[in-house]
Amino acid sequence: MPFQLIPQDMIFLLPAVLVALTIHEFAHAFTSYKLGDPTPKYQGRLTLNPIAHIDPMGLLMLVFFRFGWGKAVQVDPRYYSNRRQGTMLVSLAGPASNIVLAFVTLIFFFFFSQVNFVGTLLLRIFELNIILAVFNLMPIPPLDGSKVLASLLPHNVAYKYSNFFGQYGFFVLIALVATGALRVIINPIYSLLVRGMVTVVSFILSPFI
């Protein structure tokens, strides 16, 4: 079922948010570094320490409104051998890391679901990572999906797209949150991914559970 925020859940939600955001931003930094960009290393972003990746306001927004962000990783695409391809890979790295972490977490959940505290924490980590991945793949600047789309478009179209929507993307996101349209967009994709992952993990673990 779609993730629902309740006050009693804060003890599980907060660590789940910290894990999801940290992994997401670290993946951006690590991928850019591996593509030849030293900027994330100079800025201290090649770490799994949440303090290096958390934006306080973005953290609060994600906890209370399911709309938030980490501290953006600064990258320099000029270091990439293929600038467009490198930008796309770095942008995809964040959401991809959340999908992988959700998958791994779900495997552990199958074994520890009967342990109340551990099972609930694993479930929240799973849910938050799916939500963060789907949200960030939306093609609205400054989300990762907008950079992926711009990397696939012809240069002239990509420039117009980024230049135009880059000015208004944040306001579009605020409007989606305020009107509830963001939930309408995310929930069906979230539910589809959850069902798919549960089916796959259930099949893989069927001999053991």
The string of pLDDT tens digits covering residues 105-120 is 999 999 998 888 899 9
Tokens of 95: 């959401």
Tell me what pLDDT residue 1 has.
33
Residue 109 lies in a domain: yes
pLDDT in tens, 3-29: 444 445 778 888 898 999 999 999 999
pTM for this predicted structure? 0.89
Range of the domain at 178: 7-205
pLDDT of amino acid 86: 97
pLDDT tens per residue across span 39-95: 999 999 999 999 999 888 877 776 676 666 778 899 999 999 999 999 999 999 999
Q: Is the pLDDT of residue 203 over 70?
A: yes
DSSP 56-98: HHHHHHHHHHS----PPPP--GGGSSSHHHHHHHHHHHHHHHH
Look at residue 135 and tell me if it is in a domain.
Answer: yes
Q: Reply yes or no on whether the pLDDT at 194 is more than 90.
A: yes
What is the per-residue pLDDT across 126-184, written as a single tens digit (0 to 9) for each? 999 999 999 999 999 989 999 999 999 998 998 888 888 888 888 898 898 889 898 89
Which of the residues are catalytic?
25
Write down the pLDDT at residue 5: 43
pLDDT of residue 106: 96
- Structural domain total, the chain: 1
Residue at 162 is within a domain: yes
Chain length of the chain = 209
Q: Are 151 and 85 in contact (CB under 8 A)?
A: yes
Residue 1 lies in a domain: no
Is 2 contained in some domain? no
Mean pLDDT of the chain: 89
